[in-house]
Amino acid sequence: MNKQQTIGFIGTGVMGRSMAGHLLEAGYTVNVYTRTKVKAATLIDQGAVWCDHPSVVAKQSDVVITIVGYPKDVEEVYLGAEGLLQNGREGATFIDMTTSSPVLAKTLYEAGKERGISVIDAPVSGGDIGAKEARLAIMAGGDKAAFLNALPILEQLGTNVVYQGGAGSGQHTKMSNQIAIAGTMLGASESLAYAKAAGLDPRTVLKSIETGAAGSWTLTNLVPRMIKEDYSPGFFIKHFIKDMKIALDVAEELNVKTPGLALAHKLYEELAENGEADSGTQALIKYYLAK
């Protein structure tokens, strides 16, 4: 592991803050930027170097990691006149860990190639818990050599780091992940609503079903939050809606039928319209329990 590398980190929200913290703990010099500086205060206290603009991060870092909100944010950070690619060092590696568009991932890869910069798309799964515990699943696309060079850094953030193929492959894999989650969230919510309607103790039901054939990360980590009526975001509903919309659009281009995904997207849109956009995805249970 080359601790002499300086790492830039852009986006210190629910997940990014923990991820950047792991890199500091591992001994890396970390340059940070986020739109709201106060969100980086804890990291600055840990020794991170504050930068006033993404261009400064690019100029002062060997590797830059981004995890921002939406594809439009990715475009702004990377492709703007004062963005990363215009200001990055030749030979640098940029790793976008935002869940974004596979098409945009390929665009960034090609733009980086023209400037001698390796761009990897490496979205993650595991939510706030996975980020805090450095147990994220990381799915990467881009040049394999660049991936292997970045692997020691990625292994500070996740325990399941898998190279999926060329540029955009990481994002396509994340879309597969989000499609699976959408269906699982529907099933988990309906299961809990049924148990309550039948007069069962949801906690006792969960003890039985989470270790059987129905067992899943969602049952183990999110259903307990549903039962406690804890809707704090490990992953925002508004961001999940964004992910599902990308997956629906790409699936249509690929001529893949996704009726379950379409239903989940519809229900989450309803929740967002009712003021739940900033709640965690487990707030889906509110749809089923509403009177």
Give the residue numbers marked as catalytic: 174
**Hey, what are 34's tokens?**
């986020």
CA torsion angle for 50, 54, 56, 59 (degrees, to 10)? Answer: 130
- Spatial distance between the Cα atoms of 27 and 164, rounded to a whole number of angstroms: 28
Contacts of 122 (CB under 8 A, 6+ apart): 95, 96, 97, 138, 139, 140, 141, 142, 154, 170
**Hey, what are 132's tokens?**
């805090």
Q: Which of 211, 187, 210, 179 has its CA nearest to residue 284? A: 187
- Measured CA to CA in angstroms, residue 196 lies from 203, 211, 236, 279, 287 at distances of 10, 20, 25, 22, 14
- Spatial distance between the Cα atoms of 171 and 96, rounded to a whole number of angstroms: 10
35: exposed, middle or buried (Cβ count in 10 Å: 0-12, 13-18, 19+)? middle
Residue ranges of alpha helices (H) inside 32-155 are 41-46, 54-59, 71-79, 84-87, 102-114, 127-132, 144-154
